[in-house]
Structure 1
Amino acid sequence: MNYNSLYKLVSTRQATIGVIGLGYVGLPLSILFSKKGFKVIGFDIDKKKIEQIDKRKSYIDRISSKEIAYILKKGFCTSDFSNVLKCDFIIICVPTPLKKNKPNLEYLKFTIKNIKNFLKPYQAIVLESTSYPGTTREMIGSLLDKKFNLGKNFYLGFSSERINPGFNENSINKIPKVVSGYSEKCLEIIKFFYKKSFKNIVPAKSLEMAEFSKLLENIYRSVNIGFVNEMKLVADKMGLDIFEILKLAKTKPFGFQAFEPGPGIGGHCIPIDPNYLHWRAKKFGIDTKFIKLSEKINLEVLKFIISKINFIKKNKNLRKNFNILILGLSYKKNVDDLRESASLKLIEYLNKKKINFQFSDPYVTKKIQTRSIDLSKKSLKLNKKNLKKFDITILMTDHDAFNYDLIYKNSNMIIDCRGRYSIDNKVIRA
């Protein structure tokens, strides 16, 4: 086995691809590689996921069970990391959460620990998990350099994932793919590999530039969402409707890109990723003020919603045991993704204050268990009778599946966090 052999395996689609972490990034990626003719071995420590895949069943709402079957045409999924020996390319897609507002790379460290004894010459590892600039070189490169001649008989790179949950899981190959390598030789083989599955490959000049670019993309959104949420607070104090203001601003064909205000931020990219760069920047003596300010504003939106609840309670003379209906639990519309959802943060508050509530979300069909919530309630079916039971209906996530006319006609008061309704004696903004 040599570099040319690996090149040939990719060229003839005989290379075996190991994908570690079969979540929101790893599963769509495994399906894509399988569709492109490669044998894929999927790895995950969650044995329930492996069982589901073996049964040809999907555990992510936007990915059909039919798509899962592609992986099993040539490959298989397992929790046994010794199968890394059979792989030519190893793609790491494990979670990178926060712990006390600092990067928590325990899943990446666990992965490296579990695969290091099964690595062999002329394999390639690509990190797709989002992390701070320097992670790939320092955490993976330093380990590989002790065992291999990195860049000559082993290849390392970073490639940022660009999956937009609910929109492009089944078309990720159409999104430009940023790739990078530990050395020119690493970049060459990694670029060639991704070209077999993605339409447009964008090479970065270094691992760190590629890692930084991913964080920059997400921080750009975080800062702009923070800005428009602050504008919402200002407009509300002036008695103005931010959504109507945005309609006017959007008519400018240059120099303006609209971001929508909402009930807070969710997912992984916006609440988590900016803190990775903030933490790293501190090591270089830089205090990234925009990152922390936007985070602060986006968290304050929850207080804004609570103030609206209290406003209605006071002005409508609600009974002591009033009822609230939360519309939408996922962090964005038309998906089942609850990661860092603003709705869950609102539920934490309602639980703490012992306020009665129920929720309706067509995408949430299972019991909800997070680090801070154990919710046994089921999603409420929306009909005339059920809607009238609630003193306040809060639109948190504007799923297209909701019947907005039905909701408006039969709700007593609506707190609209998404701009679906015009403001009147029944609707207020938050």
Structure 2
Amino acid sequence: MKIGIVGLGYVGLPLAVAFAEAGCEVVGVDVAADRVATLREGRSHVEDIADERLAPVMERITFTTRYVELHETDAILVCVPTPLTRNREPDLGPLLSSARALSGVIRGGQTVILESTTFPGTTREHMVPLLEESGLRAGEDFALAFSPERVDPGRTDYTLKTTPKVVGGLTPTCTEAAVAVYARVCDTVVPVSTPEVAELSKLLENIFRSVNIALVNEMAMLADRMGIDIWEVVEAASTKPYGFMPFQPGPGMGGHCLPVDPFYLTWKAREYDLSTEFIELAGKVNQQMPYFCLEKAERALNDVGKPVRGARIVVFGVSYKAGVGDIRESPALKIIRLLRERGADLSYHDPHVPELPDFGLRSSDLSVVDGADLALIVTAHPTVDHADVTARAQLTLDLRGVTRSLGAGALQL
């Protein structure tokens, strides 16, 4: 089987490598010429795909900017970005552009699968008419399906192979065709009745997490005012063997999914005269967490007689999650901006993020904590010795609860 991949980012490139490892020929298309050039040299820009993993399959992957090279593939997987506009509305620009380009190169008998996260109806209402500009009929001349990506950067226990793959085709035959494609690289494929079911399932997964993170963050703010340790509360509730799933409080949400995906559904819901207040409230709570963390930092310094202005503050971890270097929507960036606006003397340490050009900062070594007024643990990378950080800093505020089990004397969120 020959597989085409449109979009070679954090979703597309791992797919390309997985299919190549399974013995398939792969054509990877990306509109970014510099990205394609780098990949042709065997250098990966995706953290989860090391150069050493890419090297053995280079002979089976063709990296190109030319859509026409997808014409001879058996299946085409579309993995382009679906961001939000400045007004927090869906931006389907990259998706629609790729569909228009595909309409000029697809042929009968191919299977086209959309993986990009989007609102229910996108596959049927947007992909179908654009692809049918080819003169071919979706569901008759070519198969069309939606299968949401379930990538969790940095995770090794659940991979593309071991995470069940949801697939919803335009017709039952389309679903069968898409299932056959993913069966080559996934242990379990879960067929559903329509693309809309698959599209909404992805949003439900992420909204579930968003809402529960917002709940525990709101509880953390209340517990703070009550003088109760929220971490101990979560641990106590977690002893219940049924009906409870623990979520950890923190400085807010980041990454490519949770801060973005819920807004796709809230936008679509307005077409049905429904206001998704519960989902939108969760987004507001999580967006406010950096401000609460700022207040905690101000109070911590104030308690030792120091103002934020002029204070030497070291931020530990600026990526959105532990173990990766992805800074998209990272709450650390908002916290840094807020502290800088209040006159703090800022530096940071992150083994995965060498620089923050927008702030004019580069990652410092651990010695930067010596003499600092405040060490602020925003993202707890496993390779950082946070007990040592706490011992060396005059004052430590831990927004992730990582120091609780270390017996370190840090202040907690």
TM-score by length of 2: 0.95
Alpha-carbon distance in structure 2 between the residues aligned to 1:422 and 1:169 = 25
Structure 2 counterpart of 1:136: 123
- Does the Cα contact within 8 Å between 2:100 and 2:131 map onto a contact in 1? no
Check 1:346–1:40 CA distance in 2 against 1; reply closer, same or farther (3 A cut): same
Alpha-carbon distance in structure 1 between the residues aligned to 2:48 and 2:108 = 37
Alpha-carbon distance in structure 1 between the residues aligned to 2:335 and 2:311 = 16
Structure 2 counterpart of 1:282: 270
1:115-126 equivalent positions in 2, closer than 5 A: 115-126=102-113
Matched, 1:428 2:407: no
Alpha-carbon distance in structure 1 between the residues aligned to 2:184 and 2:47 = 27
Matched, 1:356 2:345: yes
**Which secondary structure does the structure 2 equivalent of 1:339 belong to?**
coil
Matched, 1:321 2:307: no
**Which secondary structure does the structure 2 equivalent of 1:42 belong to?**
strand
Alpha-carbon distance in structure 2 between the residues aligned to 1:114 and 1:361 = 40
Structure 1 counterpart of 2:362: 378
Alpha-carbon distance in structure 1 between the residues aligned to 2:46 and 2:178 = 28
User: For 1:156-187, what per-residue CA distance to the aligned partner results, in whole angstroms no more than 9, with x for missing partners?
Assistant: 00001111110049831111110111112211
Which one-letter code corresponds to 1:47 in the other structure?
A: A
Structure 1 counterpart of 2:293: 305
Which one-letter code corresponds to 2:363 in the other structure?
A: S
Check 1:170–1:68 CA distance in 2 against 1; reply closer, same or farther (3 A cut): farther
Structure 2 counterpart of 1:24: 10
How big is the shift at 1:389?
A: 2.6
**Which secondary structure does the structure 2 equivalent of 1:86 belong to?**
coil
Alpha-carbon distance in structure 1 between the residues aligned to 2:109 and 2:323 = 42
Matched, 1:347 2:336: yes
**Which secondary structure does the structure 1 equivalent of 2:112 belong to?**
strand
Matched, 1:388 2:370: yes
How big is the shift at 1:111?
A: 1.1
The 10-residue stretch of structure 1 (407-416 or 136-145) with the greater mean CA deviation from structure 2: 136-145
Check 1:39–1:53 CA distance in 2 against 1; reply closer, same or farther (3 A cut): same
Structure 1 counterpart of 2:280: 292
How big is the shift at 1:129?
A: 0.3
How big is the shift at 1:61?
A: 2.4
Alpha-carbon distance in structure 2 between the residues aligned to 1:69 and 1:76 = 13
Structure 1 counterpart of 2:132: 145
How big is the shift at 1:405?
A: 2.0
**Which secondary structure does the structure 1 equivalent of 2:45 belong to?**
coil
Matched, 1:87 2:70: no
How big is the shift at 1:86?
A: 2.6
Unaligned runs of 5+ in 1: 1-14
Structure 2 counterpart of 1:11: none
Which one-letter code corresponds to 2:59 in the other structure?
A: K
Structure 2 counterpart of 1:42: 28
Which one-letter code corresponds to 2:142 in the other structure?
A: F
Match of residue 209, structure 1, among 180, 187, 197: 197
Check 1:144–1:109 CA distance in 2 against 1; reply closer, same or farther (3 A cut): closer
Matched, 1:400 2:388: no
How big is the shift at 1:119?
A: 1.7
Alpha-carbon distance in structure 1 between the residues aligned to 2:359 and 2:44 = 23
RMSD in angstroms over aligned alpha carbons?
Answer: 1.8
**Which secondary structure does the structure 2 equivalent of 1:98 belong to?**
coil
The 10-residue stretch of structure 1 (81-90 or 166-175) with the greater mean CA deviation from structure 2: 166-175
Alpha-carbon distance in structure 1 between the residues aligned to 2:203 and 2:57 = 30
Structure 1 counterpart of 2:46: 60
The 10-residue stretch of structure 1 (288-297 or 55-64) with the greater mean CA deviation from structure 2: 55-64
- Does the Cα contact within 8 Å between 1:34 and 1:70 map onto a contact in 2? no
Alpha-carbon distance in structure 2 between the residues aligned to 1:426 and 1:308 = 16
Structure 1 counterpart of 2:401: 419
Alpha-carbon distance in structure 1 between the residues aligned to 2:72 and 2:249 = 48
- Does the Cα contact within 8 Å between 1:395 and 1:416 map onto a contact in 2? yes
The 10-residue stretch of structure 1 (15-24 or 219-228) with the greater mean CA deviation from structure 2: 15-24
Matched, 1:184 2:194: no
How big is the shift at 1:425?
A: 11
Structure 2 counterpart of 1:6: none
Check 1:389–1:45 CA distance in 2 against 1; reply closer, same or farther (3 A cut): farther
Which one-letter code corresponds to 1:321 in the other structure?
A: G
Structure 2 counterpart of 1:230: 218
Match of residue 93, structure 2, among 88, 94, 106: 106
**Which secondary structure does the structure 1 equivalent of 2:361 belong to?**
coil
Check 1:168–1:109 CA distance in 2 against 1; reply closer, same or farther (3 A cut): farther
Alpha-carbon distance in structure 2 between the residues aligned to 1:70 and 1:218 = 34
- Does the Cα contact within 8 Å between 1:225 and 1:259 map onto a contact in 2? yes
- Does the Cα contact within 8 Å between 1:28 and 1:170 map onto a contact in 2? no
Which one-letter code corresponds to 2:340 in the other structure?
A: N
Which one-letter code corresponds to 1:95 in the other structure?
A: P
Number of residues of Structure 1 aligned to a counterpart in Structure 2:
409
Alpha-carbon distance in structure 2 between the residues aligned to 1:290 and 1:351 = 33
User: For 1:3-45, what per-residue CA distance to the aligned partner results, in whole angstroms no more than 9, with x for missing partners?
Assistant: xxxxxxxxxxxx2211111111111111111111110111112
Alpha-carbon distance in structure 1 between the residues aligned to 2:56 and 2:4 = 15
- Does the Cα contact within 8 Å between 2:319 and 2:325 map onto a contact in 1? yes
Unaligned runs of 5+ in 2: none
Structure 2 counterpart of 1:8: none
TM-score by length of 1: 0.91
- Does the Cα contact within 8 Å between 2:124 and 2:170 map onto a contact in 1? yes
